[in-house]
Structure 1
Amino acid sequence: MEHTDNKARQAADPYSRIVAEIRKGSIRPGDRLIETELAAKYGVSRTPVREAVHRLEADGLVTHVPRSGLVVRQLDYAEITELYAMRAVLEGTAARFAARSVSEVEMAELATINEEMRDADQIGAAYEANAQFHRVVLNAARNRFLIRAVEAVQKTLLILGRSTLAEDTRFEKAVAEHEAILQALRARDEDGAERLMRDHIEAALQVRLRQYRREVTE
Structure 2
Amino acid sequence: MSNTPKRHIKDQIYETYLGRIQRGEVSYTDRLVDTAIAAELKVSRMPVRDALMRLTHEGYLTSTTRGFALPNLQLKQILEIFELRRLLEPRAAALATAKLTQSDLDVLKAAVAQSERTLETGDIESLYAASETIRRTWIMAVPNVELRDTILRYMAQIQSVRFATLGEAQSLQVLVELQRQMLRAFSSRDAAHVELLLLRYVLAGEESFRRVKGLNDWPSDTESSSDP
TM-score (norm 2): 0.67
Change in Cα spacing, 1:173 to 1:40, as seen in structure 2 (3 Å) is same
Q: Partners of 1:112 and 1:26 in 2: how far apart?
A: 30
C-alpha displacement at 1:78, in angstroms?
2.4
8 Å CA contact retained: 1:98, 1:141: yes
Amino acid at match of 1:58: H
Higher helix share: 1
Matched with 1:91 is 89
* Stretch deviating more after TM superposition (179-188 or 125-134): 179-188
Amino acid at match of 2:57: A
Matched with 2:29 is 26
Q: Partners of 1:176 and 1:117 in 2: how far apart?
A: 9
The structure 2 residue matched to 1:109, chosen from 97, 107, 110, is 107
Amino acid at match of 1:26: T
Q: Where does 1:7-22 land on structure 2 (aligned, <5 Å)?
A: 7-8=9-10, 11-12=13-14, 15=17, 19=21
Matched with 2:167 is 166
**CA distances 1:115-148 after superposition (whole Å, capped 9, x unpaired):** 0222255433322211111122223443333322
Amino acid at match of 1:196: L
TM-score (norm 1): 0.70
Matched with 1:150 is 151
**Which segments of 5 or more consecutive residues in structure 1 lack a partner in the other structure?**
28-32
Matched with 1:195 is 196
C-alpha displacement at 1:17, in angstroms?
10
Amino acid at match of 1:55: R
* Stretch deviating more after TM superposition (156-165 or 195-204): 156-165
Change in Cα spacing, 1:145 to 1:169, as seen in structure 2 (3 Å) is same
Secondary structure of 1:73's match?
A: coil
C-alpha displacement at 1:69, in angstroms?
9.3
C-alpha displacement at 1:49, in angstroms?
5.2
Q: Partners of 2:92 and 2:207 in 1: how far apart?
A: 21
Q: Partners of 2:57 and 2:202 in 1: how far apart?
A: 26
Change in Cα spacing, 1:169 to 1:159, as seen in structure 2 (3 Å) is closer
Aligned positions, number: 206
Matched with 2:73 is 75
Q: Partners of 1:193 and 1:161 in 2: how far apart?
A: 20
Higher normalized contact order (CA 8 Å, seq sep 6+, divided by chain length) = 1
C-alpha displacement at 1:103, in angstroms?
4.2
C-alpha displacement at 1:169, in angstroms?
4.0
C-alpha displacement at 1:200, in angstroms?
0.1
**CA distances 1:63-118 after superposition (whole Å, capped 9, x unpaired):** 468x9997753322321121112123222012222344444443333222210222
Matched with 2:50 is 51
Secondary structure of 1:24's match?
A: coil
Secondary structure of 1:74's match?
A: coil
Change in Cα spacing, 1:172 to 1:57, as seen in structure 2 (3 Å) is same
Change in Cα spacing, 1:184 to 1:75, as seen in structure 2 (3 Å) is same
Amino acid at match of 1:82: E
Matched with 1:30 is none
**CA distances 1:16-41 after superposition (whole Å, capped 9, x unpaired):** 698488843424xxxxx685xx6458
Secondary structure of 2:126's match?
A: helix
8 Å CA contact retained: 1:63, 1:70: yes
